[in-house]
Structure 1
Amino acid sequence: METNHAMKFLLALFALVGAVSAGADGLDFIQATSVATMQCLRNNGISFVIPRIFTSLGTIDQTGINNVKNAHAAGISYIDGYLFPCLATRCGSGGQQVKEALDALASQGTKIGTIWLDIERLAWPANHVSNRAFIQSMVNEAQARKQLVGIYSNYYNWQDIVGLDYTGLSHLPLWWAEYDGEKDFGKYRSFGGWAKPNIHQWAGDQAGPCGVSVDWNFIPA
């Protein structure tokens, strides 16, 4: 299962970067974006988008799902989505949250390439063991549904949430968050068993093209 998952991701990734010799620019964002705006982003050199599809409050992000649908309609080829897990006791397990997000996409007749699990410091318990189990349950649900899945995090978030010694998910692709202003992996500091990331989120909360407030991402050639 894991080898097949990695191969599918790499094939998609190679196809993406192979089409753009200097690398691929992408965005993640949460604001509502129309088909026309998505077309504008595409025309401004944006190769991939990653809307939020589930919020830290434990709710489906309908705006994000609409953004996924509009990105498809606009002809953007590479469309992922990210899930910001809810850690409150009233929320379901990690696996249940992934199920809800994927069910919502399916029920609305759309899909994403990879679901990225947003692992950053916000309300996580201090217990690394339970946090690891929570994240693993999300991964298990995605893989059981044959959904490509990856991890969004960085050195300090990983250290605080699961511990730097935890390498149990290093077979998954890594979306590395580091606002260093550089469209490369030059300042990457290894953690969690990842020798290098797959995507670099290099700037956040920016006024992007076409009137969209964005985080900037990059995949090198």
Structure 2
Amino acid sequence: MKYLIFICFSVAFLSSLTEATLGWDGIQAVDVNGFKCLSQNGYSFYIARVWRSIGSADPTGIQNIKNARQAGWKYVDGYIFPCFKKSCGSAKDQVKATLDQLSKDKAKIGMIWLDIEVENWPADKSANQAFILDMAKQAEAMGTKVGIYTNKNNWEQIVGTDWSGVSDKPLWYAHWDGQQNFNGFNAFGGWKKPAIHQFEGDVKGPCGVSMDKNWYP
């Protein structure tokens, strides 16, 4: 009986590992062979930076999307790191410019993630809430699914922990605890459960790629 229990536990454990999905995000240029190498090392989704905080599209991220697709990757997204200089344009303008550039370059993504982390955001939380809503609405108006990248600390400083204006969007949360699970997640912003966990950051991954590591069940 003990042996049978062990076998059942082992099968369930291995099954849970196979069902889980490992991915990465990063800004390093990776060619087609690099993505094939990453795939051989267990990675199956990629999220590229497609808009930079300097207020322009990221050509490296866009090319990476195309390389990933050419390497056979099915799950490829992009993220926008917004700019707050007047010269960068409004929230809607930045999203439109991003998606227009992706379309022009024929870089296909499944979803656009809005990177909401403390860097140059104004102090006015109400204005920040409006900025995020404008970004999300513009992307959806252009037929693109939207997700939010953040964590509780960033959310609290930028819009306030209890603001739940985009809680209907999937959450990609950063918590570098090295754990491929959601156990360390504490609810905020109306989210009860995340969609993706960025569990390790700024590391040297396989195939010579610097990356943040991500997981979802």
**TM-score normalised according to structure 2 size:** 0.91
SS of residue paired to 2:56:
coil
Is 1:180 the equivalent of 2:177?
A: yes
What is the aligned counterpart of 1:148 among 140, 145, 148? 145
Equivalent positions of 1:94-113 (< 5 A) are 94-113=91-110
Q: 2:166 is matched with which residue: 165, 169, 178?
A: 169
| Whole-angstrom distance in 2 between the partners of 1:67 and 1:213 | 14
Contact 2:112–2:147 (CA under 8 A) maintained in structure 1: yes
Q: Take 2:90 and 2:168, find their aligned partners in 1: how far apart are those partners? A: 22
CA RMSD of aligned residues (A): 1.4
- The Cα of 1:22 is off from its aligned counterpart by 3.7
Gaps of 5+ in 1: 1-17
* Distance verdict in 2 for CA 1:178–1:71, change over 3 Å: same
Displacement after TM superposition at 1:48 (Å): 0.2
Q: 1:47 aligns with which of 44, 47, 52?
A: 44
% same residue: 50
Q: Greater CA radius of gyration, 1 or 2?
A: 2
Question: Does structure 1 conserve the Cα–Cα contact (< 8 Å) formed by 2:63 and 2:107?
Answer: no
> Contact between 2:47 and 2:78, CA under 8 Å: does it hold in 1?
yes
Q: Does 1:74 align with 2:71?
A: yes
> 1:1-221 counterparts in 2 under 5 A?
21-220=18-217
Q: What whole-Å deviation, never above 9, does each CA across 1:130-183 have from its counterpart, x for those lacking one?
A: 000101110011100110110000001000000012111000000001111111
Equivalent position amino acid for 1:205 in 2: D
Q: Which has the higher contact order (CA 8 A, sep 6+)?
A: 1
CA distances 1:28-69 after superposition (whole Å, capped 9, x unpaired): 010111011011111111110011111011111000000000
Equivalences, count:
203
Look up the equivalent residue of 2:131 and give its one-letter code: F
The 3-state SS of whatever aligns with 2:88 is: coil
Shift of 1:19: 11
1:24 CA displacement: 0.2
